[in-house]
């Protein structure tokens, strides 16, 4: 685990003893360190041997049941590693891939449950859950991270590396579950999100671009919803009540026709088809007019590219719109509520209900106007019926991966889909899922939103840490995408690192507060030193981490994460006191305050008067029971991206609050949050091309 024992002891020599694991602390078995290199080596060798010989199988019967599901034995793939590590796209294109039907059969997915999209990707039908309903769930591991630099700290790489270590090296039946990336960041600054190095999802070009079209389905659905709302407002503006009624409910073959999608609104108003020809004027008006207040419209059109010029637009400028104009804007597709619904739905029926509950505006009387009021929820479900099925892919080492949903982690939960996790837990002994950004954002929403709707509880968490990010939190120079790192990040600097450890300690505390054992994964960079790793491990263990392990999955694939995997296996067998930090029946303001204090470390929350009014309105309309999804920067535990480390003495300002009634949360805005990113001067798309001889895409990273 430690490569330079002299440096390790030097870092720790001022302490007579420190607890090596949380388990050791709980049982009062402190490990005494001395200057003897052989004793420390023997100690770690003993711990490793214990992990190698201790069974980490789930409860009796589970492994046997899961093994029986497989239609063929698992065949691990062995990529030919090179040094130095080549670009991601070169590794991905050199890799051997299994046909997707082989991946499915190894996982236990039957041919009639698979819908192939070419040779290496497929969708899995939700019917599989009926067949596997009585199969016990496997162990559930969530991967999160400390507050990242703008470059990211390798959560996806760690998720894939850990799943490869568990499945291809330790023989555990394993699934990884990750989000589908937006093509906006892929062609912007960040690049792709398939992992990296020798811990990737492949084919990485398919993964990072269109995949099976789920994001396109989300985009078309959202734009249809926006078009329906604006068109309905236009027709109400131009027509009298009687004309609206004749067009909405025409007579054909002597019978009044009722649109299928309008039945919800009729039921809401207590109107039956037999009442239609005898409605009093006021009731007829209520039936045909939504009377939308334009200032309350919440739905934007979307596109899956970074386009800053669409942040503010004016619509209705054509001559046929007769001057019916409105200022609005575009969001990126993955920021839409329909994407959040895709991540949180539990099935097709549930998705239809959630789509219908979406509140697109308020009426002039202050009542919510929903997609069901527009009569469009059924059509949206038709557009999304295939997107709800998770996408099956594979890692470089042949372990299975579900790639599904891609909600932003700031204004949405930032996790992969519930349906993917549910299917994976039935098929595998271990499921590794990823939560976006740091533990203060994606993990907190995994707990309070995703876990509430899924009914699933994590058995352990992995907190990804880098020396680079901790140095930044210790006061290191600014880290900017596209610019070389300052030498402070590539040379040993224990003082700078020590100053930033508070951020990691705080994130460990977040996970421990909800009762989940946490393993710290130090994502090793080539410029890190053994002494830096040892310092991070010491601080992590003292803060209550179950273990802290150096992982080299980027350069070595699953082999570089075997020690991490063994630590995670042991962590999943520890006592688990999973619990929520707030109850749903608490007032919305109280829920926001609890997250600010208990998760971010704030002294409290300052609500604008308009926010107080909107929160009161949401509670009056029946939305007070929803969980909250705070939208804030991912670059700080606070609302201010410039405040690094573990800030103290701050309050969270809430300047606005919005409702996602269909997805099922209220999201307060702590500072300006962009829902449409822009492109930099030197975007990633400049490196992307296609080799005309082979047809291969080059330059993705």
Residue-wise pLDDT for 73-84, tens only, equals: 999 999 999 999
Q: How far apart are CA 193 and CA 156, in angstroms?
A: 7
Nearest to 633 by CA among 621, 619, 644, 624: 644
pTM, two decimal places: 0.90
Residue-wise pLDDT for 111-158, tens only, equals: 999 999 999 999 999 999 999 999 999 999 999 999 999 988 999 999
- Give mean pLDDT, residues 471-487: 92
Lowest mean per-residue pLDDT among 56-70, 452-466, 500-514, 544-558: 56-70
544 has a pLDDT exceeding 90: yes
17 has a pLDDT exceeding 80: no
- Give mean pLDDT, residues 637-663: 97
Band of pLDDT at residue 449, cut at 50, 70 and 90: very high
222 has a pLDDT exceeding 50: yes
37 has a pLDDT exceeding 60: no
**Is there a cis peptide before residue 203, judged by omega within 30 degrees of 0?**
yes
The DSSP output letter for 210 is T
Class of domain 62-213+387-571 (CATH, top level): alpha beta
Nearest to 179 by CA among 399, 417, 397: 417
Backbone angles phi, psi at 363, to 5 degrees: -75, 170
33 has a pLDDT exceeding 70: no
- Give mean pLDDT, residues 366-388: 98
Token couple for 491? 């040379």
- Residue that the structure tokens 């202050």 belong to: 366
Q: Are residues 694 and 685 in contact, defined by beta-carbon separation less than 8 angstroms? A: no
Residues 6+ apart with CB under 8 A from 22: 517, 541, 544, 545, 546, 547, 574
535 has a pLDDT exceeding 70: yes
Q: How far apart are CA 443 and CA 141, in angstroms?
A: 11
Token couple for 92? 């991905």
Residue-wise pLDDT for 161-182, tens only, equals: 999 999 999 999 999 999 999 9
276 has a pLDDT exceeding 90: yes
* Residue 592 C-beta-side C-alpha neighbours within 13 Å: 27
Domain ranges for the chain: 5-53, 62-213+387-571, 215-384, 588-669
49 has a pLDDT exceeding 70: no
The pLDDT value recorded for residue 52 is 44
Lowest mean per-residue pLDDT among 55-64, 310-319, 583-592, 602-611: 55-64
51 has a pLDDT exceeding 60: no
Q: Are residues 510 and 538 in contact, defined by beta-carbon separation less than 8 angstroms? A: no
42 has a pLDDT exceeding 90: no
The pLDDT value recorded for residue 67 is 79
194/36: higher pLDDT: 194
The pLDDT value recorded for residue 27 is 36
| DSSP per-residue string spanning 279-310 | --HHHHHHHH---B-GGG----EEESS--GGG
- Count of beta carbons in the 10 Å neighbourhood of residue 126: 17
The pLDDT value recorded for residue 220 is 98
The pLDDT value recorded for residue 39 is 36
Nearest to 507 by CA among 568, 463, 546: 463
Residue-wise pLDDT for 616-642, tens only, equals: 999 999 999 999 999 999 999 999 999
- Give mean pLDDT, residues 21-49: 37
The pLDDT value recorded for residue 65 is 60
Residue-wise pLDDT for 53-93, tens only, equals: 443 433 333 434 687 899 999 999 999 999 999 999 899 99
The pLDDT value recorded for residue 61 is 34
The pLDDT value recorded for residue 470 is 98
- Same topology, domains 62-213+387-571 and 215-384? Answer is no
Band of pLDDT at residue 193, cut at 50, 70 and 90: confident
The pLDDT value recorded for residue 66 is 83
Backbone angles phi, psi at 479, to 5 degrees: -105, 120
Nearest to 159 by CA among 174, 172, 176: 176
Which superfamily, per CATH, for 215-384? Domain 2, N(10)-formyltetrahydrofolate synthetase (3.30.1510.10)
Tell which CATH classification among 3.30.2310.20, 3.40.50.300, 3.30.1280.10, 3.10.410.10 matches the domain 588-669: 3.10.410.10
C-beta pairs of 306-312 under 8 Å, 24+ apart in sequence: 306/184, 306/185, 306/187, 306/188, 306/332, 306/676, 306/677, 306/678, 306/679, 306/683, 307/676, 307/678, 307/679, 308/676, 308/677, 308/678, 308/679, 310/676, 311/674, 311/676
Token couple for 319? 């001559």
44 has a pLDDT exceeding 80: no
690: three-class secondary structure by DSSP: strand
Band of pLDDT at residue 483, cut at 50, 70 and 90: confident
| DSSP per-residue string spanning 58-78 | -STTHHHHHHHH-SS------
Residue-wise pLDDT for 400-422, tens only, equals: 999 999 998 878 999 999 999 99
- Count of beta carbons in the 10 Å neighbourhood of residue 83: 6
Helices H, strands E: what count in the chain?
29, 28
């Amino acid at each position: 685990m430690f490569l330079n024992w002299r440096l390790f002891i030097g870092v720790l020599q001022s302490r007579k003893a420190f607890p090596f694991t949380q388990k050791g602390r709980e049982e009062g078995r402190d490990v005494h360190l001395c200057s003897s290199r052989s004793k420390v080596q023997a100690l770690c060798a003993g711990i490793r041997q214990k992990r190698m010989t201790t069974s980490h199988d789930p409860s009796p019967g589970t492994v046997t049941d899961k093994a029986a599901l497989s239609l063929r034995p698992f065949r691990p793939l062995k990529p030919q590693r090179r040094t130095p590590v080549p670009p991601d796209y070169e590794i991905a294109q050199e890799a051997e891939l299994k046909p997707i039907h082989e991946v499915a059969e190894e996982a236990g997915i039957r041919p009639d449950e698979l819908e192939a999209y070419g040779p290496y990707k497929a969708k899995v039908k939700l019917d599989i859950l009926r067949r596997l309903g009585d199969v016990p769930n496997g162990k559930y591991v969530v991967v999160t991270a400390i507050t990242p630099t703008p470059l990211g700290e390798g959560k996806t790489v760690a998720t894939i590396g850990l799943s490869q270590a568990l499945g291809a090296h330790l023989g555990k039946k394993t699934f990884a579950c990750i989000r589908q990336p937006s093509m906006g960041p892929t062609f912007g600054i960040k690049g792709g999100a398939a992992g990296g190095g020798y811990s990737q999802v492949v084919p990485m070009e398919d993964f990072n671009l269109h995949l099976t079209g789920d994001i396109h389905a989300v985009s078309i659905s959202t734009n249809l919803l926006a078009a329906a709302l604006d068109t309905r407002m236009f027709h109400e503006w131009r027509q009298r009540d009687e004309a609206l009624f004749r067009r909405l409910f025409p007579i054909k073959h002597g019978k009044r026709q009722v649109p299928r999608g309008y039945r919800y609104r009729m039921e809401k108003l207590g109107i039956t088809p037999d009442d239609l020809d005898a409605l009093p004027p006021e009731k007829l008006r209520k039936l045909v007019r939504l009377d939308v207040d334009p200032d309350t419209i919440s739905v934007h059109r979307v596109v899956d590219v970074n386009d800053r010029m669409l942040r503010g637009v004016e619509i209705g400028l054509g001559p046929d719109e007769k001057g019916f104009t409105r200022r609005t804007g575009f969001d990126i597709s993955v920021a839409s509520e329909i994407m959040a619904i895709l991540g949180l739905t539990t099935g097709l029926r549930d998705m239809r209900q959630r789509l219908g509950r979406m509140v697109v505006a308020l009426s002039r009387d202050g009542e919510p106007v929903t997609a069901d009021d527009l009569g469009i929820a059924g059509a949206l479900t038709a557009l999304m019926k295939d997107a709800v099925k998770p996408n099956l892919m594979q890692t470089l080492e042949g372990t299975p991966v579900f790639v599904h949903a891609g909600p932003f982690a700031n204004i949405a939960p930032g996790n992969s889909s519930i349906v993917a996790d549910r299917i994976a837990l039935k098929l595998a002994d271990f499921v590794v899922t990823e939560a976006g950004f740091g533990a203060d954002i994606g993990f907190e929403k995994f707990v309070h939103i995703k876990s509430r709707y899924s009914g699933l509880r994590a058995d352990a968490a992995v907190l990804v840490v880098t020396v680079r990010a901790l140095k930044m939190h210790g006061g290191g120079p600014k880290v900017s995408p596209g610019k070389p790192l300052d030498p402070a990040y590539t040379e040993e600097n224990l003082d700078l690192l020590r100053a930033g450890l508070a951020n990691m300690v705080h994130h460990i505390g977040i996970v421990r507060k909800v009762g989940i054992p946490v393993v710290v994964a130090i994502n090793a960079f080539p410029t890190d030193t053994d002494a830096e790793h040892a310092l991070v491990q010491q601080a992590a263990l003292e803060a209550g981490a179950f273990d802290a392990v150096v992982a080299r999955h980027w350069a070595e694939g699953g082999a570089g994460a075997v020690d991490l995997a063994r630590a995670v296996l042991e962590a999943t067998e520890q006592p688990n006191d999973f619990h929520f930090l707030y109850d749903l029946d608490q007032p919305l303001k109280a829920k926001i305050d609890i997250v600010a204090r208990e998760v971010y470390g704030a002294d409290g929350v300052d609500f604008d008067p308009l926010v107080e009014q909107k929160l009161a309105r949401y509670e009056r309309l029946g939305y007070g029971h929803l969980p909250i999804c705070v939208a804030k920067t991912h670059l700080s535990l606070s609302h201010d991206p410039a405040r690094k480390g573990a800030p103290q003495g701050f309050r969270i300002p809430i300047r606005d609050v919005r409702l996602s009634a269909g997805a099922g949360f209220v999201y307060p805005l702590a500072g300006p949050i962009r829902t449409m990113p822009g492109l930099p001067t030197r975007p990633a798309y400049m490196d992307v091309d296609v080799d005309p001889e082979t047809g291969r895409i080059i330059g993705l990273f």
